[in-house]
Amino acid sequence: MENEKSHKLTRRGFMGAAAAFTIVPRHVLGGAGYTPPSDKITIASIGLGRQGMVVTMELLARPDVQVVAVADPDEMNKSVAEYGANSLLKEERRLLGPGYENWGEELSSPGEKWLLPNWKSSMGAGGREPAKKVVETYYSSRKNNTYKGCTAYRDFRELLEKEKDLDAVYVATPDHWHAGVSIAAMLKHKHVLSQKPMAHNIGETRRMADVARQMNRVGALPVNNPTSRDTQALHDWIADGAIGTLCEVHNWSSRPNSPQGIERPRENPPVPQGLDWDLWVGPAPLCPYNPLYHPFQWRGWLDFGTGAIGNMGSYSLAGLYKILDLTAPTAAEASATGWWDSTPAARAESYPRASVIHLYYPAHNNRPAFRLTWYEGGIRPPRPAGLRPEDDHYFQPGEENEGIMYVGDKGFILGGFNGTNPRVYPESTKYQLPPRQRPARPAAGDRDAVEHWLAAVQKDNAVEQWIAAVKGGAAPATNYALQAGPTESLLLGVLAQRFAGEKLEWDSANMRVTNCEEANAYVNPPYRDGYKV
């Protein structure tokens, strides 16, 4: 390994490099909110679907960050699922501020699409060219001129080769590419912020943590649960005996929100112009293109996604590990139902529509062994007696009615999916959270005030912690070393779904299922030729 000191975050002579640009962003030139060029970190965004676009905008709004490049196998598509009508374009215009109310009409939503029989979503624009446009327009808007300092790449590997003066990357690809891109970036001495889940299989989680340590890079996930006030309260209350001895935990999600339990499509439509399909598939087994894989709907396929528990369990398990001081589970089992097409082929290719997963955790320190049960697809645990009326909704149908419940021998704690707004039963004035206090957002036209507001409300979030660590601060609470454990747990649950009906005994130290050799083929599977890292 080369000398680590030569690969610490470089405080480059940014102004010298900026001389080649047509314009330098406002906060490079001084004035209110000024950040010296030597304190900026340069970042590239890799994977520009919805999450890629949204977090890139969050990074753009930071005066201590300079987004210099983007990469995606897709040049542009207008089928990115949104959380509201034309919401991506609205967020982009809000970021740009006054004078941009009609900006980007060519990026406007083409309308809605049925993604599930019961779910219709607005479609927005993603891909490397829309991302490049947002980045360059944002920096141009700060000086009323033209900025052309963001390079768009089809292949992230070319980006890593050519962008020599790059500190870090943000990775928002589909799940099956998280580890490959992150490891390649760290081997090029880049820090990495990668979307959850950390990896697509358990072997990848180990390699990511190992490479981050060996290369002395900051790798982390944008997951806020470990440092939330609710997580801290739950930790303190349970440790204080609020519910007696912990017996079991229940965590339920309304997901999945992508097609699952179906066979691969038989149609082979042409690959859309501007999409490198072979690169998008990458390390996974190659299959013909179909819009049921990309964009967005990849999450329900075994080769590309990690299902509902990979999507949402990354949040809740990150909190659970902190609250309960968890070690690796010793076993996992699942029951699954709701396959729309219950043929063996469907079961071998996509995740079930609904599932219950049990993860068994051993005794640790003063905590006894217990079972965590995960529910998805509308399944929920039985409603406990004695609930207050305002807590009934947790056990009712509906996308927002997700929750978590810690059950002890003297009571239980019920809260939102990530433990938000927890309530102890039987109720006690000793275990209550004070009301939340959050500063009001300034008017969009006051850009300096908005930037300071963002810094204030995000000071404890995972992105903020990661950026502080990249600058030389403490390791973030969601760094790869700490999140390898929660990710191993949820991926063991994913493995149990593949072998629904069989209890898998897990030897974490040796990374093996001890009672089902067939399952071990999915613990650390090989990459497709041409995409090995």
How many angstroms separate the Cα of 58 from the Cα of each of 41, 170, 395, 484?
A: 14, 11, 34, 25
How far apart CA 254 and CA 257 sit, in angstroms, is: 8
Q: Please tell me the distance from the alpha carbon of residue 22 to that of residue 108, in angstroms, as a whole number.
A: 28
Nearest to 322 by CA among 199, 492, 510, 462: 462
Strands 370-376 and 246-252: parallel
Compute the distance between CA of residue 409 and CA of residue 390 in angstroms, rounded to an integer.
Answer: 24
Give helix 307-324 / helix 229-239 axis angle, nearest 10°.
50
**CB contact set of 336 (below 8 Å; sequence gap of 6+):** 352, 354, 355, 356, 497, 500
Note the pLDDT tens digit of each residue in 153-180.
Answer: 999 999 999 999 999 999 999 999 999 9
Residue 441 confidence class, pLDDT cut points 50, 70, 90 = low
| CATH class of domain segment(s) 226-268+306-440+482-522 | alpha beta
Lowest mean pLDDT among 30-39, 146-155, 407-416: 30-39
DSSP letter string, 211-266: HHHHHT--EE----GGGSHHHHHHHHHHHTTTTSSEEEEEEE-----S--S-PPP-
Distance CA 458, CA 454 (A): 6
Q: What is the largest CA-CA distance in the chain?
A: 68
Q: Model confidence at 83, in pLDDT bands (50, 70, 90)? A: confident
Task: Identify the CATH homologous superfamily for domain 4-223+441-475.
Answer: NAD(P)-binding Rossmann-like Domain (3.40.50.720)
Q: Domain residues of the chain, as ranges?
A: 4-223+441-475, 226-268+306-440+482-522
Q: Which two tokens stand for residue 264?
A: 């691969």
Residue 265 CA to residue 288 CA, distance in Å, equals 9
Polymer length in residues for the chain? 533
Residues 6+ apart with CB under 8 A from 374: 251, 252, 253, 309, 313, 355, 356, 357, 358, 359, 493
pLDDT tens digits, residue range 359-400?
999 999 989 999 999 999 999 999 999 999 999 999 998 878
Q: Dump the DSSP string for 383-422.
A: PPTT--GGGGGGGSSSTT--EEEEEESS-EEEEETTS-S-
Average pLDDT of 347-358?
A: 90
CB 49 within 8 A of CB 76: no
Q: Provide the CA 81 distance to its chain's centre, in angstroms.
A: 15
Query: How far is residue 407's CA from residue 396's CA, in Å, rounded to a whole number?
Result: 19
Q: Residue 435 has what pLDDT?
A: 75
